[in-house]
A and B are shown apart, each in its own frame.
Chain A
Amino acid sequence: MRRLAFLALVALASPARADSLLDDSTRTDPELPALVHRATTAALLGEVGGIDDAAAALRAIDEARRDRGLAKAGVTDDVELLAAACRPTRDARRDALHAVLDDHPDPIVERTARHALEQEDDAAAADRLLSDDRHNRRATVVNDAVRPLGVFSGAALLAVANPFLIAGSALDSLLTTAVNLYHYNELSPREREALVRYRRQLARDPNTTDAADIVDAAREINARHVATLCKDTVTLATKALADGDLDRARFYVDSAGRLPGCEDRVATTRERVAAALAAREARAEAARWPADDLELPSGDEHDDYAALVSATALGDPAGIMAAAQRFTQRHPDSDNSDGATLAVAVARDLAGHRGDAADALHAIARDKSGPGRVAAAMLESPRYHRLDALAAAERRHSRDVAQYVLVGGGVDGRTALYTAAQFGAQGMQAAESFGVFNVLGMVSRAWNAWRKDPASNQAIIDEGEQYLANEPEGVEASDVHERLATAYERAGAYDRALLHYRAVDAPDPKRIEKLEGKIADQLLENAHKAGEEPALLAAIVHYYPTSDAAEKAEKLLKDMPRTGTLPVARDVLVAHPSLLGPSALDLDPILLDGRTDNGELADAGVTVTPDALVLTLRNPDGGDDRTERRPLTSEKYDRARAAAEDALYAAALTTDPDAKEFGRFERYIPLFIAGSLGDGGVSVAPGIKLRRDTSPDRPLYE
């Protein structure tokens, strides 16, 4: 068998040699090149009849070859694809493509034809999108209805003995189904893409026989699209109003008002926004005037008070202190003594004694006077808050993490439902089983929390950054830098963490090294995502040379093909035997015959470089592979490179990037069973498979 395969390889690889079986067979059909020429010229001239004639003649040749016991020539499917491309209407092109696919063409023709059907026949693609969308909506309703019934956690396992236990699951299932049905007709990204594609189809080819159906479908989706846009805009306005962002709310209200048919829907929100804007304007107007009526003191007090006010207006700390002390000494029982204390606080603050200023403010902050209210407001401001807000944010964060580990992501309606149902069934006995089975969830959550912070660090970051913006050189600045470094590190922003940690008074070099390692790991991950971006890899090696990531990056850079070189693996050579021929790499087929004694290419295959063809050969003695360089002339290099690139392109074209994700028979099984150990404990549930969204442009429809 191996020998036969080798013979076929030799024959395929040597079109110029006349002594092979297949070349002999080729010689028997000398008219084939002329037919291909006729087909290609007809295609370029747009003469469909000419291509059809050539295709018919090629089919006859294939028939004759089959009668002679020979393989078919193998170009008929390509000519038929060419003929499909030249059909004048969408309907004719689609029918011709289906005919090509029905004839089991070669992989390249198949991929090209499918691509044409999926990407270029917009109406057909839109139909498919809608069909998938309908399937997924139904499957989601069914899956969500079944999932609660399939949850096996703790006492639910005893449902067989006590049917009352599944009451919670049944109620959850019912409620989820009701919610899903309520949202069933909401516009999905798939429908939005279908609408765009229907419109494009009509713009490209309005004469298709499906035009009437397309128009109907597009009109229906468009009506829902307009309604959704209106609804979304009103929702944005309502949310902005709830957040107190009246400028945003006003913008979205006006925006919704300009959408067709949206005026009625936005009317209520518009009124609420108008009322809120009026209230804001009233508040702003009121804030421009003093809250208390001015009562000027009389006699001596008047003069001292006027001197204090003048000194305060001038903003000189010494002058204010002197005037305030004079006023207090001369008029200890005055109604304006709070005002004098407030002036003292201002003077101390201006002189840089913020702690003393805070003491003065505290002294009057509880008084129900104008200066007392001002003092209280000043103490509430970030200027006097110092690190209180930061500490509070850190406490909130710790509490959130503990809550996550102990009770999961918060008590929602579903967990409450199950808890109530189980307590209803078992009373206090349920607590024991909850305890046992919740341990699993707790351990899982603790593990998750250790690996990735489950709570937001944003409040800590905001407070810390605000403090540093106000007091970059403050005495607590180093402490704040360190606390920020910790928060940023937990949030995964290692570069910011390092920046702050370096600003700490005495940073620990080991922690700096650890942070640098994390940054390097992150950069390496980004480089992987960007297709091994060389600039990122080089940056890792340059800036973080001692990290593990730098070692990996260096290796990747080393293995990267240099400019002008093109590696072709052994597998590719086996799959594309024409690469061995004289118009390509010009290699002897014995290099792929499986015998190491006469030379055998290793898995790395060959590398085409501008001056040589580098062969990686298996070592007949069983050691490391060895390399052999064969000099290439410029002309040979051009030919070899062109052939290698074409073969690699064909390989890329016919490789299904998703193939690895599917098991052999997986695509034929419509159901799945999912089990997980998550926040809620152990869960096992069957479901209907959803159809994957393969649109490359998904973000453009969300």
Chain B
Amino acid sequence: MRTMLSLVVAAAALLGAVGTGRAGDATGAFAPYEDLLEVLAPLTWHLGDDLYRFPPPHDPTGHDLFQLTLARLEGWEKRYPSIFRDVTTFSRAEAYERIGEYQKATDAYRQVADSTDSPLAGAARRHASRTATFAAAAALPEGDDGELDARLQALRKKLDAWGKIVEQQAGTPYQSMALVEEERLERLTSGLVVDHRQLLDKGNQTAERALRFLIQKHAESKNLPEHVLRLGDLYADLAREYLRTHERPLVFKEDEFLARADRALDVYRKVATWDGVREKPEGQGRFTAFEAYKANVLARYR
């Protein structure tokens, strides 16, 4: 995690964004407390963020706030190892939780829970109990090395576990973290179906259904444009597959190719004209590339 702060500092230095700067205004021995408050204020600001619907927060220099907070807290602990340990450990746990490191979060919460004289101990115990459940679900295997069926089965089991957590955490700020995990697994599952659609019965329709399910279920997610792009990719692949299987001029039917190609272009254009989303340039690029491909194919067969 130290590398994060090093990267930020190095990037700022290289871009000439580090002047001499000005420090805080704390007097003498109060400076360490001021340093700590400067780290905690932005973190506290974002503890209630809905990380499923909105992108993770960034600091004023444009870097991931949670990772930066972890790096700065670790640095502060190195300099002042004996003071405010409960506060820094609890804060690190909060940050770990928000970047999906549930086991590390649990360990940190438990450390605070053990320090009975800390006002944070009670909350740490409650949080540790929750993050332990999250960590247990996160530790379930995803069948990375197995066959398709085994992988799908493993993912289904893990999805069930996260589904229960989503229900349990309904109405709390922590549901969004569970939804992030659920979405990730469903994206993985649909990706597997798309990648292996040739092996499945009615594979193309199943793959399309899987991606459409992802889009509909996670319509509120920050990753929605990415899911839409993946549907466009599937349609683009289907158009290419059509060409591969109908390469000879007399079997190539322009209308059938156009229907497939335009469906992909239509989906890409949705993202290409979607204001404010990170995937917009990607959508524009894919639209342009696929449009050129379409024009090229049509020119070849006319």
Contacts and interface: CB of A to CB of B under 8 A. Distances in A.
Interface stretch (A33-41, A158-166, A484-492): A33-41
B1 to A, nearest CB: 12
A571 B19 CA distance: 8
A639 B78 contact: yes
Contacts of B302: 284
Interface stretch (B2-10, B156-164, B197-205): B2-10
A225 B23 CA distance: 45
A85 B61 contact: no
Given A85-B41, A532-B14, A571-B20, A78 B79 contact: no
Contacts of A36: 33, 36-37, 84
B50 interface: yes
Most buried by A among B6, B12, B25, B47: B25
Interface in B7-39: 8-38
A89 to B, nearest CB: 11
Contacts of A22: 27-28
Contact of A646 (B18, B19, B33, B75): B75
A255 B273 CA distance: 12
B80 A583 contact: yes
B178 to A, nearest CB: 19
A26 B28 contact: yes
A646 B72 contact: yes
A653 B36 contact: no
B97 interface: no
A631 B213 CA distance: 61
Interface string A2-31: 000000000110010000101101100000
A40 B24 contact: no
A268 interface: no
A113 to B, nearest CB: 9
A642 interface: yes
A492 B35 CA distance: 50
A107 B22 contact: yes
Contacts of A574: 20
A170 B227 CA distance: 55
A32 to B, nearest CB: 6
Contacts of B16: 657
Given A15-B31, A22-B27, A655 B37 contact: no
A638 B12 CA distance: 21
B148 to A, nearest CB: 36
B60 A245 contact: no
A112 interface: yes
A575 B22 contact: yes
Interface string A638-679: 110111011111111111010100000000000000000000
A480 interface: no
A195 B274 CA distance: 12
B74 to A, nearest CB: 7
A571 B266 CA distance: 56
A193 B79 contact: no
Contacts of B54: 200, 203-204
A561 B10 contact: yes
A249 interface: no
Interface in B237-253: none
A72 interface: yes
Contact of A247 (B13, B38, B61, B258): B258
Contact of A15 (B12, B28, B87, B273): B28
A520 interface: no
B275 A112 contact: no
A642 B275 CA distance: 40
B18 A74 contact: no
Interface string A190-215: 00110111001001100000000000
A71 interface: yes
B161 to A, nearest CB: 28
A571 B18 CA distance: 11
B21 A78 contact: no
Interface SS of chain B: helix, strand, loop or mixed? helix
A413 interface: no
Contacts of A106: 22-26, 34
A245 B281 contact: no
A161 to B, nearest CB: 52
Interface stretch (B100-108, B117-125, B136-144, B184-192): B117-125
A82 B76 contact: no
A71 B298 CA distance: 78
B182 interface: no
Most buried by B among A25, A108, A197, A225: A108
A40 B83 CA distance: 13
Interface residues of B, number: 84
Most buried by B among A192, A254, A583: A583
A196 B40 contact: no
Interface in A239-280: 245, 247-248, 251, 254-255, 258
A575 B12 contact: no
Interface string A562-579: 000010010110111110
Contacts of B258: 247
B269 interface: yes
B82 to A, nearest CB: 11
B23 A41 contact: no
B24 A196 contact: no
A284 B302 CA distance: 9
Nearest to A569: B20
Contacts of A197: 276
A639 B81 CA distance: 10
A74 B28 CA distance: 10
A86 interface: yes
Contacts of B33: 32-33, 36, 75
A623 interface: no
B233 interface: no
Contacts of B13: 648, 652
B76 A642 contact: yes
Nearest to A16: B29
B277 interface: yes
Contacts of B9: 566, 645, 648-649, 652
B79 A11 contact: no
B21 A654 contact: yes
A191 to B, nearest CB: 10
A33 B83 contact: yes
A103 to B, nearest CB: 12
Contacts of A696: 62
A40 B40 contact: yes
A52 interface: no
Most buried by A among B29, B35, B58: B29
Contacts of B72: 646, 649
A11 B84 CA distance: 24
Contacts of B291: 248
Given A44-B94, A115-B59, A532-B14, 14 more contacts: A45-B120, A72-B27, A106-B25, A109-B24, A578-B31, A646-B76, A648-B9, A649-B12, A650-B21, A655-B19, A657-B17, A659-B19, A699-B280, A700-B281
9 closest Cβ pairs, A-B complex: A651-B21, A642-B75, A74-B26, A78-B37, A196-B276, A652-B12, A571-B20, A85-B45, A655-B19
Interface of B: 5-6, 8-38, 40-42, 44-45, 47, 50, 53-54, 57-62, 71-72, 74-76, 78-80, 83-84, 86-87, 90-91, 94, 118-120, 123, 258, 262, 265-266, 269, 273, 275-278, 280-281, 291, 294-295, 298, 302
Interface of A: 11-12, 15, 20, 22-23, 25-26, 32-33, 36-37, 39-41, 43-46, 70-75, 77-79, 81-82, 85-86, 106-109, 111-112, 115-116, 119-120, 192-193, 195-197, 200, 203-204, 225, 229, 245, 247-248, 251, 254-255, 258, 284, 531-532, 561, 566, 569, 571-572, 574-578, 583-584, 638-639, 641-643, 645-655, 657, 659, 696-697, 699-701
15 contacts: A26-B28, A33-B33, A85-B41, A106-B24, A195-B275, A575-B23, A577-B23, A642-B76, A650-B21, A651-B20, A652-B17, A652-B18, A654-B22, A657-B15, A700-B281
